[in-house]
Amino acid sequence: MYMNFWYPVCETAELTDKPIRVRILKHDFVAFRDSEGKPALLADTCVHRGGALSGGKCMDDGTVQCPYHGWRFTTDGVCTRIPSLGISAKIPARARVDAYPTLDKYGLVFAFLGDLPEEERPPIMPIEEYETDGWRATVQTFNVNYNYERSIENGLDPAHNEYVHSTHGYNGEKEEEYQVNELEPYKNNDWGFGFMHTFDAPPLKNWLMKRFRKEGGKMQAGSGTYGPNHMWTYIHLSETMHMHQYMFEAPIDEATTKVFLVNLRNMAITKREWLNKFLDKKIKERNMFVASEDIKVVEKLEPKLTPPSTTKEMLMPHDRVVIQYRGKLKEWEQKGWRLDYQQLNEIKAQADVITAIPCPARREAKAWVLDPAPVYGALPEAEPIREAAE
Ligand code: FES
Ligand SMILES: [Fe+2]
């Protein structure tokens, strides 16, 4: 798990002026909209005596009020009122909680969980088709009981389709003709790598999808990453009918993940909105069916986290993008952005200490009540990464 990236918090429509508690990177946050409708995300732990701000309420002055003794915090995390001191009391500078930059984008609320100044922050994965003519978006979320890196690596794996997905492969029945074809590099950028490839896929049997793919044969698909927790998958059912899926994953902790899937399609769109809404629902059900095929396999992977050394697996040439993804993670670990989950677990086990993901304001103001979450020390140099088993 890495700080200094954008994480999905909830769907845009879910967030109101009623505070909610969300858990990301093994930390609790309070999310709410201020009086102008702007999303806010703060560390959930009140610095007075540990009240959960998410149990409080939003006030007319745009603050969130702690349910324990009524302290009020702005969307910048600054305490503006300590009622027990009287209405005109001066508020100590240390009375503040971590507050994170937020954005409404692609039907989701995102928060930047880290302390980098704006100009240094890695971007949110772009969705070029979003709100463009001929494309329609749906958003859906689901939780999985596995680590987000296992989830991302599964999405980057061209060899699992043949065995895991009835819609994309032949369940190994055509093994004599089967192999993973050439992976063409695609959408490589500063924050990740991707590929497209062509493979044999069966005709689609689902009543809706079979309209788009009646015959079996060559199909194009691919996927890639953007940061540690954003990834895309393109499924080209034919030359012109495309599904482009963008996954934004929020590690709840090292063993559970919330997946936010923004699905863009240039097919199954009609002139009638009621029918489009019906098709949206069917596409979402379809996506959940495909995801359930992955979940069944990935939740049983061992070890639960990817092994720290590639010598403890036998990676093949078609695992190239997985290896490239791990290379990127190593780069971010070198910068000191990787949370030390072992130390974090030890701290949590003590039950008398709580940490916070440091927010950008910690770069200027030095006195904070909560300790920052532990990170692995910045590394001098990345370990060389083996390309594939020999
Ligand atoms: S614990 Fe929040 S006001 Fe006292
Ligand atoms: Fe899959």
In the chain, what percentage of residues exceed pLDDT 70? 97
Retrieve residue 360's tokens.
Answer: 């950008």
Q: Where are the domains of the chain?
A: 5-120, 136-323
> Which residues lie with the beta carbon below 6 Å from any ligand 1 atom?
46, 48-51, 66, 68-71
Tens-place pLDDT, residues 210-226? 777 777 778 899 999 99
Tens-place pLDDT, residues 238-277? 889 999 999 999 999 999 999 999 999 999 999 999 999 9
Ligand nearest to the CA of 155: 2
Which strands make up the sheet holding 136-144, listed edge to edge?
A: 136-144, 257-265, 242-251, 230-236, 217-226, 194-201, 184-185
Of 69, 80, 96, the one to substitute when testing ligand 1's pocket (max ligand atoms within 8 A of C-beta) is: 69
Quickly state the pLDDT bin for 348 (edges 50, 70, 90): confident
Predicted TM-score (pTM) of this structure: 0.93
Looking up tokens 């505070």, which residue turns up?
Answer: 19
- pLDDT for 372 beyond 80: yes
Of 28, 64, 71, 369, the one to substitute when testing ligand 1's pocket (max ligand atoms within 8 A of C-beta) is: 71
Res 381: pLDDT: 58
Of 48, 80, 369, the one to substitute when testing ligand 1's pocket (max ligand atoms within 8 A of C-beta) is: 48
Res 178: pLDDT: 75
The region of weakest confidence among 107-116, 231-240, 245-254 is 231-240
Q: What average pLDDT does the segment 125-129 reach?
A: 97
- pLDDT for 390 beyond 50: no
Ligand 1 atom with the smallest distance to the CA of 70 is: 3
Quickly state the pLDDT bin for 389 (edges 50, 70, 90): very low
What span, in angstroms and rounded, lies between the C-alpha atoms of 178 and 167?
16
Residue 152: helix, strand or coil by DSSP?
A: helix
Ligand nearest to the CA of 51: 1
Q: List, in sequence order, every residue forming a beta bridge with 244; answer none if it has no partner.
A: 234, 264
Closest residue by Cα to residue 140 from 101, 103, 106, 104: 106
Quickly state the pLDDT bin for 179 (edges 50, 70, 90): confident
How far does the centroid of ligand 2 lie from the alpha carbon of residue 154, in Å?
6
Res 22: pLDDT: 98
Ligand nearest to the CA of 165: 2
Which residues have CB under 8 Å from 319's CB, separation 6+?
A: 157, 159, 388
Closest residue by Cα to residue 102 from 24, 26, 192: 24
Ligand 1 atom with the smallest distance to the CA of 50 is: 1
- pLDDT for 124 beyond 90: yes
What span, in angstroms and rounded, lies between the C-alpha atoms of 201 and 178?
11
Tens-place pLDDT, residues 59-73? 999 999 999 999 999
CATH hierarchy code of domain 5-120: 2.102.10.10
DSSP string, 165-198: -TTTS-TTTTTTT----PPEE-S-BTTB-EEEEE
How far does the centroid of ligand 1 lie from the alpha carbon of residue 368, in Å?
16
Q: What average pLDDT does the segment 106-125 reach?
A: 98
From the number of C-beta atoms within 10 Å of its C-beta (0-12, 13-18, 19+), residue 200 rates as: middle
Ligand 1 atom with the smallest distance to the CA of 69 is: 3
Ligand 1 atom with the smallest distance to the CA of 49 is: 1
Quickly state the pLDDT bin for 350 (edges 50, 70, 90): confident
Encode 62-83: b = buried (16+ Cβ within 10 Å), e = exposed. Answer: bbbbbeeeebbbbbebbbbbbe
Tens-place pLDDT, residues 10-54? 999 999 999 999 999 999 999 999 989 999 999 999 999 999 999
Ligand 1 atom with the smallest distance to the CA of 71 is: 3
Does domain 136-323 match CATH 3.40.50.720?
no
**Residue whose CA is closest, atom 4 of ligand 1?**
69
Res 47: pLDDT: 97
How far does the centroid of ligand 1 lie from the alpha carbon of residue 84, in Å?
10
Res 200: pLDDT: 81
How confident is the prediction for the chain on average, in pLDDT?
92
How far does the centroid of ligand 2 lie from the alpha carbon of residue 106, in Å?
23
